[in-house]
Chains A and B, each alone.
Chain A
Amino acid sequence: MSRASRIIPLLLLLVIVVGMAWRLVKPADTAVPSQLVNRPVPAFVLDAALPSKPSLSSKDLATGEPRLLNIFASWCVPCVGEVAVLGELKRKGVKIDAIAVRDRPEAIAAFLARNGDPYERIGSDPQSNVQISLGSSGVPETFVVDGKGVIRHQYIGPLTAANIPGVIEQMKVLR
């Protein structure tokens, strides 16, 4: 073996160590985006999550004006912070519907009483069926749906105050 080829294993080790260090410093993005962006919302009909609020079906999302569809749950911790942001969006005229994943009416009512209620309609998805058919992989997620019921954008993770101008802008563009 020549002297030069002797350091090949060392170089390989270096490549592996550098690769691992890079991934430790900059972890890979684990979000799984829905493939349904720019496609119509799949047909669904959900029961009302609360007796006091209308239920949600895919038809309610094609009303001629853009809406937000928020996937949330009362047991989801980041949703507590997000619902305040949604409240701010509602005050600015954004229409918001929701799907409550694996939740109970009492728990949802308590969650909304404590944190504010920005929703027009809430559908109950007790076995994540509609969540899966939307290509959503967790809570919270938010879909921007245009007036024809076509999904235009997906936010994975909680919306924050920094998202408000962007969402308002999207609503204006889609109107």
Chain B
Amino acid sequence: MRWALLFLAAFALQPALADSDLPPAYWANRQLPNAQQEAQAQALMNELRCLVCQGQSIADSDAELAGDMRDLVRRRIAAGEKPNAIRGWLVQRYGTWISYKPTAEPAARPLWLAPLALLLIGAWLLRHRIKLKAKT
């Protein structure tokens, strides 16, 4: 029992090593009073990638930097900035990496063509099958 408690306590200690002891930024975990602006902020935060927990959006991540980025997004939206302008400002700094929204740049073209290619392959396979059935 004592060992189990010690083991659990070790988990409680972990975050202290990687984080500051400052409180989260004001708008990190607080909704904007204007529902329409909050919806805009939420939509954008879901499409921005967290720099710390790569693979999570800043809306999902508990990392402090993600909290500071949510604060930045909400403050700018509240100040009347358009979501795409905020995204562009971040892309200028971190590259297209920061945004989950696929772009039309050449590197992303296979992504756009993949569904079409898969549909064609599927149709071809199906045609083959139907023919075989018709023969028997």
A residues touching B (Cβ–Cβ < 8 Å)? 30, 32-36, 73, 75, 77, 101-104, 107, 126-129, 131-135, 137-138
Contact = CB atoms under 8 A, between A and B. Distances in A.
Given A137-B51, A138-B52, A75 B68 contact: no
Chain A contact residues: helix, strand, loop or mixed: loop
A135 B65 contact: no
Nearest to A107: B21
Nearest to A135: B93
A34 B64 contact: no
Contact of B52 (A77, A131, A137): A137
B92 A35 contact: yes
27 contacts: A30-B54, A32-B51, A32-B54, A32-B95, A32-B97, A33-B95, A34-B94, A35-B93, A75-B21, A102-B20, A102-B22, A103-B20, A104-B21, A104-B22, A126-B22, A128-B65, A128-B68, A128-B69, A129-B68, A129-B72, A131-B65, A132-B68, A133-B93, A135-B94, A137-B52, A137-B65, A138-B52
B131 to A, nearest CB: 14
Contacts of B92: 35-36, 135
B19 interface: yes
Contacts of A129: 68, 72
| Chain B: interface size category | 20 to 34
Interface in B32-49: none
Contacts of A138: 51-52, 65
A142 to B, nearest CB: 17
Nearest to B66: A128
Counting from the closest, the 3 A-B pairs by CB-CB distance are A135-B93, A102-B20, A137-B51
B93 A102 contact: no
Given A30-B54, A73-B20, A35 B68 contact: no
Nearest to B52: A138
Interface string B46-83: 00000110100000000011001101100000000000
A25 B23 CA distance: 38
B17 interface: yes
Contacts of B97: 32
Contacts of A34: 93-94
Contacts of A132: 65, 68-69, 72, 90, 93
Contacts of B90: 132
A59 B23 CA distance: 29
